[in-house]
Amino acid sequence: MKKIILFPAVLSILTIFSLTSCGPKSITKTEAQNMYDKTIETQRSKEYVSPKTFIIEETIDEVDLEDGEYHYMTSINYDKENKFLYLHSEGNHDNKKVSLTSYLYVKDNFIYTYLDSNGEITANKIVVDITNSFENTLAGNEILKEGIEILDVSYLESLKTNPLNLLFLNENTKYSSNGDGSLIIDFDSKITMQNLETALLFKLEIENYRLTQYKFHNNNNNENYLNIDLRFQYDKKVVSYLDDNLFTK
């Protein structure tokens, strides 16, 4: 009787151990380069099915002795299929608080635009009478347009030019993968030039041929630094409409 009970228990322990011991496997630089190129090729192909929704979360911390100090947190919810985009950003510039909330969406044959910039609100509700009104309005809104440009495959191509071309040349760069469609690039080192010590950290993660994380930290001993953290989520519910009363005059 004890053997019958003990055997599944042993299997459970072995299963847990095998799961916890799994993780990214180291790959070569050539394999990493090939996977990165395959990601771009996959997203460029006609067979690629792009995500219906995107969530972008970005944190930027920057101190420049000439331009001042910046700290921002930005979140973007984008549903291209249902014509909905939300952006919220808050932070401070030289200890002065800054906030921005913007909506753009189509609902019941109306296009809604909403902007709250540091408490100053502009809200418009317009009858949709032209094809591609959402896309045209988005193209004309630089804040929202710049926010989602990072979703385009051209962003991956720009990273390949810089900084990836430099990272591929450095022997301290590490590469790993969770399998097909997965790539993790890590770089964490210090560089000293002309008495200036700079700590560089770079991390890029791709899963299912989609960018899921981008991190870049550049800190040096002259008190300047730039830290950028980006995270992406796909195919999650993002639509949350504003109260129609906000658009009544």
Domains (ranges, CATH) in the chain? 23-247 (2.50.20)
- Given this model, what pLDDT does residue 13 score? 36
- Given this model, what pLDDT does residue 161 score? 85
- Given this model, what pLDDT does residue 65 score? 66
205-219 pLDDT, tens digit per residue, is 999 999 999 999 988
Q: Which parts of the chain register pLDDT below 70?
A: 1-22, 65, 221, 249
Task: Cis check for the bond before 24: say yes or no (omega within 30 of 0).
Answer: no
Phi then psi dihedrals of residue 36, to 5 deg: -65, -45
147-160 pLDDT, tens digit per residue, is 898 899 999 999 98
Q: Is the pTM of the predicted complex or chain greater than 0.85? A: no
- Given this model, what pLDDT does residue 22 score? 66
